[in-house]
Chain A
């Protein structure tokens, strides 16, 4: 049972690894320039020169998917990492120190959580007038909350452990206890949460781009590619299908990985 689970985790991790690899080395793998327009090859069906066909401006869909993945995945990882760090830090401080700072921050978190995440994101991205930076801020505003809550509840239970009392009696400061005893013991559950957040964040970013609140054209991004190509879906369905499929694939792979890791940790 455990061995099988481990094998499945390795497979999912390998799939995630391949995805990351192709996206990182997009420059080497891509057969064409993703931004080069070609008036002679407009809406061409998939062929040897253009594996996924071309779009309305004759740009190579395959290359755009690769480079678009770069934008989407890089932004997702950056955003998850940032929320992870900020949320964990806030959660640990709240859980360890308690008091008015804890009450204030947790109230803010409650307020943010009381709206659907996407609604807040659309509103904020709208106010910030689009752009990838704006989209990231819009999603990040609610995303740290899940990390903060998780970190806080784990900190509260770690705080009760006798080794924390021992460390205090050994004269260690709150900050050093948080760094050496609390944070490392929190990492595993928070890392699992980060994995499952990757999928959600990707949907969020692509969704905002689809609505025109994310990347500014002509930058390649999966959501905006789908949005652009959907106008001529009857003529060139490949221009919609390719970015849609990779979006689904990436989200499934990361969510599956996150779920497996969570299951594995619970089985411990």
Chain B
């Protein structure tokens, strides 16, 4: 394990809470979740659908306002500053790769547009190379690409934006295992080459095990267990974590 605990903390969320009101029911999507991410570190967040892991990403990215809690980037307090401002520090990749791109625009248009005024076609080409795509695809629209290709384009767009934190929301769960393996390979490469920090949300603890240094296990909006991925997988404390690992074991080879 090469996580260096002395590395600076890029992102920190303290006691984050978010409540949704649906008709007369109240759902605590997040209750007092603590999270931090160091430079060059991969943190996995696992849990089943509805456990609050996607809400966590939306709250951190500023796409949803928090009800309570604080968000810091480094030492700077970022609570409530909104997604436009947070976008300078972090980028997000979504589960539905195709809908991450405006259907009317070509890939190159969408990617350049996300560069905050920067128009560096050479850099885009280099990034396309990095994720193993053909630059011919740049002129295509999302409908003409496969889900896996779109997702790799979404990674290119996030990197072109220049942020050093990536929030990944179930980015492989709509893809087949082969495309999934490609995305995992790309993320590993980015970790080694660029020191990218990633918050990786997934329901599949086997994937998290392959990619991440640390893991948080969420259930019903709370973190039930957290720590080094190897420790959690080898010696799970919480019954839900055990069930998650058992399910994943049976599906892995």
Contact = CB atoms under 8 A, between A and B. Distances in A.
Nearest to B117: A171
B114 A162 contact: no
Given A163-B101, A185-B102, A168 B157 contact: no
Contact of B116 (A162, A171, A184): A171
Nearest to A181: B102
Contacts of A166: 92, 94, 100-101, 114, 154, 157
Interface stretch (B17-25, B83-91, B212-220): B83-91
Contacts of A162: 94-96, 99-100
Greatest chain B CB density within 10 A among A167, A170, A180 is at: A170
Given A162-B96, A168-B83, A172-B84, 12 more contacts: A163-B102, A165-B83, A166-B94, A166-B154, A167-B114, A168-B84, A170-B87, A170-B115, A171-B84, A171-B116, A180-B102, A185-B102
Q: Shortest 9 CB-CB distances between A and B: which pairs?
A: A169-B87, A170-B114, A162-B94, A162-B100, A168-B83, A162-B99, A163-B102, A161-B99, A171-B116
Contacts of A170: 87, 113-116, 161
Contacts, number: 59
Contact of A165 (B92, B104, B116): B92
Interface residues of A, number: 16
Contacts of A168: 63, 83-84, 87
A129 interface: no
B61 interface: yes
Contact of A171 (B87, B94, B100): B87
A169 B86 CA distance: 7
Contacts of B63: 165, 168-169
B50 interface: no
Contacts of B84: 168-169, 171-173
The A interface is mostly helix, strand or loop, or mixed, namely: helix
A169 B104 contact: no
B103 A185 contact: yes
Nearest to B142: A163
Given A161-B99, A166-B114, A166-B157, A185 B104 contact: yes
A184 B105 CA distance: 11
Nearest to B95: A162
A165 B169 CA distance: 13
Interface of A: 161-163, 165-173, 180-181, 184-185
B153 to A, nearest CB: 11
Contacts of A161: 99
A3 to B, nearest CB: 21
A161 B113 CA distance: 17
Contacts of B157: 166
A165 B102 CA distance: 11
B88 A171 contact: yes
19 contacts: A161-B99, A162-B99, A163-B100, A166-B101, A166-B114, A166-B154, A168-B63, A168-B83, A168-B87, A169-B61, A169-B90, A169-B92, A171-B87, A171-B88, A172-B84, A172-B113, A180-B113, A181-B102, A185-B103
Contacts of B154: 166
A163 B114 CA distance: 11
Contacts of A171: 84, 87-88, 116
A181 B100 CA distance: 12
Greatest chain B CB density within 10 A among A163, A169, A172, A180 is at: A169
A163 B157 CA distance: 11
Contacts of A180: 102, 113
B155 to A, nearest CB: 12
B78 to A, nearest CB: 13
A163 B102 CA distance: 6
Interface string B205-224: 00000000000000000000
Interface string B96-132: 1001111110000010011110000000000000000
Interface string B45-83: 000000000000000010100000000000000000001
Interface in B130-188: 154, 157, 161
